[in-house]
Amino acid sequence: MNIINLDHISYKPLLPEVKEAMIEAINSDLHNPSSQHKAGEKSAELLAQARENVAALVNAADAREIVFTSGGTESVNHAVKGAAWANREKGNHIVTTNIEHNSVIRSVKRLTSQGFKVTSLSVNESGRVDPKEVADAITDKTILVSVMHSNNETGTIQPIEEIGAITREKKVLFHCDAVDSVGVVPMDVNALNVDLLSFASNPFYGPTGAGGLYVRRGTRIFPLLDGGVQEHNKRGGTENLIGIIGMAKAAQMAAANMDERRAHLEDLKQYLADELPKHLDDYIINTNLEHSLPNLLNISLKYIEGESVMLMLDEENVAVSTKSACATGSLRASHVLLSLGLSHADAQGTLVLAWGVDNTRADIDKLLSALSGVVKTLRSMSPLYKK
Amino acid sequence: MYNEVVMDHFKNPRNVGVIEDADGVGEVGNPLCGDMMTIYLKIDENDQRINDIKFQTFGCGSAIAVSSMLTEMARGKTLDEARKITNKDVAKALEGLPKNKLHCSNLGADALHMAIQNYDDKKAGIVRPKAEREEKHEHGEGETCYCPYCDVELGEKTTFCEACQRELTEEH
């Protein structure tokens, strides 16, 4: 069965070259990189090489600024909690936004129970944070600003460079959750003026269970995982070398093919945006088309609910993701969509369409023809649809 | 995610539509997730039986399957019999729903009971303001208590779910 994957935000298939690199690593029975004998040293070399490759993807000046983690969630938890704990004597105030991923929101919430205060900024109707509001929110107690690079539901990209200039001037640490951006769009930690940058391997076709945190040299941060002196004393625990090798291969390929991939992804985005009105009416585009990822579009289909749409598309072998309240474990409307000013009813009909390098225009055609039928069926049974 | 019975009623919902000259209409909205359901009844005056029943639903797969099953269960029943259809009956007929979707079955039975109430009110000449519907969180004595939102097991007196960060106002 040929399933069209337009749910690349949930999972991206590993590239064949990444699989090969990982299988080779498994078959090599790599020893612990901390061991001082020959077998350990070989692993340490591979680890150092992987660190160079990953550092290059975010343009880190020094590979030692990369801390390997178990993925985006750990990176974010480490950045937010680790920076807050390490700088507690300087202040207790954190500035963030209402549209962050739950890994930021809940980390910050956890910190409030330890005496930290939080200012959470709204986004404007185009889904972006106003850098001036960030500047105004910073007080002499502020120790950390955390703003995401691109939103995982809408794909909208935030003005990180402008915010970085402000935090640099005000001498406040700046963490950027760039999990859905790194490896997809060019990333330069120095141009952005970030001190901490979280990323994960799967968004650029590496394995899940591997991620990284960029920590600018001199940044005060505590480990999240206390233990050995691995990762330059920033993360205890023997490294997940097989995952790290897979991530490094994926990073190398993402850097080498970035322009070509982006052009293809942008083409599909433009094609989808152009074709949508020919197949559907009464929908809202929640993505800021000017400032957003090339591989994602978030739409709300009015009068119907997203899980129903997702299930019916699944019957047609088209995989998508929804952010309707019904489909989430917590049964709450997405905080991101509500922050954009969507009503609960409109938020219910939200689909996240995310494509990858393996998708084609024909896949978009298949999606649209299936979607127009599904929407017609569901609207015909909706008490809200009066046409 | 859903069993075969639920998927069958979701993919091929029975009794979808509107009865223009309905004798009773019940409309409920779900305060949790924003789902909505409307039930239309056509009643046989002589033997107080549901002759025809149709539904319209704005909601997830579970909400649509519940609506469909409920209408199948209520069709042909007397009003007294239909009043006795409970949320649990609908969920049972569907051979079970995921725990955090059980609230969808509340929606169905409530809509049916409201439609019957609407029929009774019309006959008696009573006009009622739209009633606010509250989410019920039912479970028997000694049963394990789960968060109605996210399915996580809860302690007896909890009023906050740590897992999904929701305030729990329901009685436990």
Q: Which of B6, B25, B33, B150 should one mutate to test binding to chain A, selecting the residue with the greatest count of A CBs within 10 A? A: B33
Q: Does the pLDDT at position B139 exceed 60? A: no
Same structural domain, A224 and A79: yes
Residue B148 amino acid letter: P
**Number of compact structural domains in chain A:** 2
Residue that finishes a domain, picked among A205, A233, A253:
A253
% of chain A residues with pLDDT over 90:
92
Q: Does the pLDDT at position B136 exceed 80? A: no
Q: What does pLDDT average to over chain B? A: 83
Chain B residues in contact with A348 (beta carbon < 8 A): 33-35, 58
Predicted pLDDT at B169: 60
User: What's the pLDDT tens digit per position in A202-253?
Assistant: 999 999 999 999 999 999 999 999 999 999 999 999 999 999 999 999 999 9
Interval A151-173 mean pLDDT: 97
Measure the CA–CA gap between A225 and A109, rounded to whole angstroms. Answer: 19
Interval B36-64 mean pLDDT: 94
Same structural domain, A38 and A91: yes
User: What's the pLDDT tens digit per position in A139-160?
Assistant: 999 999 999 999 999 999 999 9
Residue A50 amino acid letter: A
Same structural domain, A90 and A201: yes
- CATH fold for the domain made of B4-124: Sufe protein. Chain: A (3.90.1010)
Give ranges for CATH 3.90.1010.10 in chain B. 4-124
* CATH assignment of the domain containing A51: 3.40.640.10
Per the DSSP assignment, residues forming a β-bridge with A213 are A67, A198
Interval A336-359 mean pLDDT: 91
Distance in Å, alpha carbon of A344 to nearest chain B alpha carbon: 6
Predicted pLDDT at A214: 98
CA A154 from chain centre, in angstroms, equals: 11
Q: Does the pLDDT at position A94 exceed 90? A: yes
Pick the residue with more confidence: B146 or B36? B36
User: What's the pLDDT tens digit per position in A274-304?
Assistant: 999 999 999 999 999 999 999 999 999 999 9
Q: Which of A274, A297, A295 is nearest to A284 (CA)?
A: A297
Predicted pLDDT at A249: 98
Same structural domain, A45 and A162: yes
Could you tell me the pTM of the whole model? 0.89
Measure the CA–CA gap between B11 and B24, rounded to whole angstroms. Answer: 27
Measure the CA–CA gap between A75 and A79, rounded to whole angstroms. Answer: 6
Judged by DSSP in three states, A321 sits in strand
Which domain range does residue A73 map to?
A: 16-253
Measure the CA–CA gap between B55 and B40, rounded to whole angstroms. Answer: 6
Q: Which residue has the tokens 């979280």?
A: A198
Q: Does the pLDDT at position B55 exceed 80? A: yes
Positions of A marked catalytic: 326
Same structural domain, A271 and A227: no
Same structural domain, A67 and A194: yes
Confidence of residue B172 (pLDDT cuts 50, 70, 90): very low
Residue that finishes a domain, picked among A198, A218, A253:
A253
CA A11 from chain centre, in angstroms, equals: 12
Contact status of A382 with chain B (Cβ, < 8 Å): yes
Cβ-nearest to B60 among A315, A327, A347: A327
Both structure tokens of A13? 């298939």
B27 vs A383: CB contact, 8 Å cut-off?
Answer: yes
Same structural domain, A275 and A249: no
Residues in chain A: 387
Residue that finishes a domain, picked among A221, A253, A285:
A253
A332 vs B10: CB contact, 8 Å cut-off?
Answer: no
Pick the residue with more confidence: A327 or B4? B4
Element (H, E) at A75: helix A72-86
